[in-house]
Each structure stands twice: as structure tokens, then as C-alpha cells.
């Protein structure tokens, strides 16, 4: 029994390490009234989140992992793929490390991450439920890969990353592209 417990503790520690790795490049996005959404520092000075969670074009800000609030400006929106890009001052936090979503298969373990306000990261654990080729979502946008999971995207998780067991970002979670399943916009579509 000790070996089984040790294996479970080691697995749990690995998941916590994956959350910490993915959270280094994750911000809270203040672009709507009440609850912030989540964004990913995609490239130096560029945060990507879901378009549906950025409800205004001005008076935007993000909260960094260290709790600092910094201004952000809207760089662009793509309602068809539910993506929005924000500009922040360069050099404020590490850029995300990316994994390859095309290598995922149903059953692979993944984590959805979020940062809400000044708090630490939040996580939901689950498995990939479906993968496939490119598809057109109901909003009209072309998405390069189908990537769905059995995760629950709690309020504020929109725009947050889906990460693999190593904490590498696979894409951006969206609750608005394919209901009722959690759908991830793969990194290749975001790029």
C-alpha cells in the first residue's frame, strides 16, 4: 500500500508542478464588469484571451502573477474564433511555453488554468475527450484542430490555457465555441 500511496502523491505533485509552470505566463484580464477572465502572455507584450470576455475596448488592465495591475490596450479581436489580443508593456512576465496539441489523443490528461483577480492560479483536471481535424465553429471562424475535454470551465476560466502534464500551453479554453463541451482553441490557430 505504501508504494501505491507514493505513486499517487508523486502524480499529485507532478500536476501541481504543471499548474505552477503554466501559471507563470497567465494573467487576470479586467475587460468586463465584475469577474475578470484569464489571459496568456503569448508573445512578449501580447496577451491573448477570449473575445467574448473582453466587453469593452478601453480602460483595460491585467493583473500579473505577482499581484501588480498594469494597463492593457486592445490590439485586435476575432469574434469568429473567439480570440482577442491585448498589448501590455514588454518584459513584464515570461512568455508561455507551448506544447503540441496535434499530439493529443482522447484520454490524455490535461489541466484548465485560470487566474482571477489578485489570487493564485486555479485549476481543473480532466481528460481530452475528442480530437480531430480543422472545423468551422458556429461563429464562422476556422479552427485548425478539434480539441475538446471533459473539463468544467468555471467562471473566469475563459481565455485561460489548457496545459499538458508538463505545464506547456496547448491552447486557449473557450466556453462559447461549441456548447456544452469545453473547447480549446489550439495554439496553431492562435498563432
pLDDT band, residue 177 (cuts 50/70/90)? confident
The residues, ordered by sequence, that sit 6+ positions from 175 with a Cβ below 8 Å of its Cβ are: 153, 157, 158, 182, 183
pLDDT higher than threshold 60 for residue 1: no
- Return the CATH number at 121: 2.40.10.120
CA 7, distance to chain mean position in Å, is 28
Question: Looking at the 3D structure of the chain, how many domains does it have?
Answer: 1
Question: What pLDDT digit, counting tens, does each position of 35-80 carry?
Answer: 899 999 999 999 999 999 999 999 999 999 999 999 999 999 999 9
Q: Which domain holds residue 9?
A: 1-191
Neighbours of 142 (CB within 10 A): 11
Task: Write down the mean pLDDT value for the chain.
Answer: 92
Amino acid at each position: 500500500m505504501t508504494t501505491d500511496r507514493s505513486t499517487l502523491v508523486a502524480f499529485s505533485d507532478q500536476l501541481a508542478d504543471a499548474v505552477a509552470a503554466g501559471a507563470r505566463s497567465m494573467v487576470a484580464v479586467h475587460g468586463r464588469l465584475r469577474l475578470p477572465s484569464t489571459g496568456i502572455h503569448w508573445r512578449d507584450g501580447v496577451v491573448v484571451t477570449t473575445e467574448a470576455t473582453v466587453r469593452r475596448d478601453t480602460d483595460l488592465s491585467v493583473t500579473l502573477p505577482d499581484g501588480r495591475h498594469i494597463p492593457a490596450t486592445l490590439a485586435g479581436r476575432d469574434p469568429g474564433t473567439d480570440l482577442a489580443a491585448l498589448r501590455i508593456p514588454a518584459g513584464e512576465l515570461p512568455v508561455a511555453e507551448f506544447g503540441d496539441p496535434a499530439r493529443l489523443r482522447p484520454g490524455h490528461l490535461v489541466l484548465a488554468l485560470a487566474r482571477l483577480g489578485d489570487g493564485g492560479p486555479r485549476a481543473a483536471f480532466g481528460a481530452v475527450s475528442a480530437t480531430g481535424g480543422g472545423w468551422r465553429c458556429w461563429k464562422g471562424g476556422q479552427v485548425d484542430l478539434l480539441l475538446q475535454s471533459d473539463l468544467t470551465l468555471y467562471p473566469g476560466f475563459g481565455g485561460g490555457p489548457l496545459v499538458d502534464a508538463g505545464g506547456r500551453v496547448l491552447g486557449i479554453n473557450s466556453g462559447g465555441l461549441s456548447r456544452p463541451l469545453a473547447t480549446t482553441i489550439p495554439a496553431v490557430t492562435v498563432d
